[in-house]
Structure 1
């Protein structure tokens, strides 16, 4: 699966679990870390965990190797490393504190459309 399709899969999985303010940063040419960062947040630790689990499960269902998932037990900032795509699922408070969108301000924002259910 190419990185653009994986990014869309991760964003859709987050949306399916009611993630808020889903933003995708195109990291190509900005950082060698990944092609895309998918960033979103939730209002509770449990919802953060549910979103992260959904992203991981959908990736694995599509034979994507999830290299690492960190922060799941705490449910405050979960990082799901899928190689070319890294998803960051924050608790609302942590998202505003770390503000990855500002930190990686050189990265263009990708606009993706979520299908209406």
Structure 2
């Protein structure tokens, strides 16, 4: 299994374990050179957003994957975690609706976690 798929699976599971809402995986490698996958999810409040970010960071770090860059901070309602091959977006519910990345990246292919097996 390639590292992008492995990172995506780890990040997805970490967010699912922390009860993220509406986790989406978008394969963008065919339409962009930014990354292979976007993972988009939201929390119900700022504490959960931070818990989701911390969970992803811890899970990927345990497997030896470190972010190249993290944008946003503890009080943010949108945190972007750039791991090179994958980019994780964790939003508040309101900001997710406002920025609507799923619409912007609609040329990508929406996948389920099972598609990565």
Per the normalisation by structure 2, the TM-score is: 0.92
Unaligned runs of 5+ in 2: none
Unaligned 5+ residue runs, structure 1? Answer: none
Any conservation in 2 of the 1:8–1:112 contact (CA below 8 Å)?
Answer: yes
TM superposition shift of 1:42:
0.8
The match for 1:92 is 93
* Alpha-carbon distance in structure 1 between the residues aligned to 2:70 and 2:57: 8
| Bigger helix share | 2
| Contact 1:46 1:75 (8 Å CA) reproduced | no
RMSD between aligned alpha carbons? Answer: 1.0
Match of 2:67 in 1: 66
Deviation at 1:70, TM superposition (A): 1.4
Matches within 5 A, 1:3-82: 3-82=4-83
State the secondary structure of the residue aligned to 2:24.
Answer: strand
Q: Distance in 2 between matches of 1:4 and 1:72?
A: 26
Query: CA contact under 8 A between 1:24 and 1:36: conserved in structure 2?
Result: yes
Runs of 4+ that moved beyond 3 A = none
For 2:26, what is the secondary structure of its paired residue? strand
